[in-house]
Each structure stands twice: as C-alpha cells, then as structure tokens.
Amino acid sequence: MPSTEIILTDNVPGLGAEADIVKVRRGYARNYLLPHGKAHEVTPASLRQLENLKKKRAEREARELNEAEELARRINKLRVTFKLETGETGKAFGSITAQDIVTRLKNEIGDEID
C-alpha cells in the first residue's frame, strides 16, 4: 500500500500527538485525517508551521501536567475511611473495590477520576 507523510495537528490515539510527522496510508490521510483537520501534508510551508505546533503541544503538556499535579496534591491531603460489617471473628463481610475508592474520591474532590 502506498503511504504518505503527514504532520499531525491534533492528538490521534494510536498514531501520535500534534507536531509529530508520521507515515500513514494515503487513503487514511485523504479520507479521515485531512478532512477532519487532524493533519496537514508535509510541504515546505507546513514544515515552517511545525514550530507553532510544537509550541502548542508543549503548552498543552505543561497544562496537563499542572492539572495532574494539582489533583495529586488534593488527593494526598484527603483522608478517606470506609466502614465494613464484621463477623464475630473480626473478618469483614465483602471488600472495598477500586470502584468504591473512585466513587468516594469523586464525592470528596468533585473531579472526574478514572
């Protein structure tokens, strides 16, 4: 299959992030990436625009890192307790699952957590 080089202008899962130069099949570029504005063809002019895309990517990554660090600080300050029923021998009925923890953190923090 013939392929072509393109410059990504947006994050494309499984392919790359903005400002990456990648090789893809011509049909994928022509029918999906280019019409949806997720990529540009590699030309001398688009290579000059690559610096702008790299700046945009660096700003986005810095913003995402700051948001993640802020969320981590908020989570580290929390103290979360769970109560479980126990039997006569002291063994707990049931268990605390990852979903229980996520639900409690969502209630405490108010942000979406995976």
Q: What's the pLDDT tens digit per position in 49-76?
A: 888 888 888 999 999 999 989 988 988 8
Task: Identify which has the larger pLDDT, 108 or 28.
Answer: 28
- Same-domain status, 31 and 12: yes
Structurally, the chain folds into a number of domains equal to 2
Q: Number of helices (H) and strands (E), helices first, in the chain?
A: 3, 3
On whether residue 62 sits in a domain, the answer given is: yes
- Bridge-based pairing of strands 39-41 and 21-25 is unpaired
- Same-domain status, 45 and 85: no
- Phi/psi of residue 19, nearest 5 degrees: 80, 5
pTM greater than 0.75 (yes/no): no
Q: Is 113 exposed, middle or buried (0-12, 13-18, 19+ CB in 10 A)?
A: middle
CB atoms within 10 A of CB 51: 10
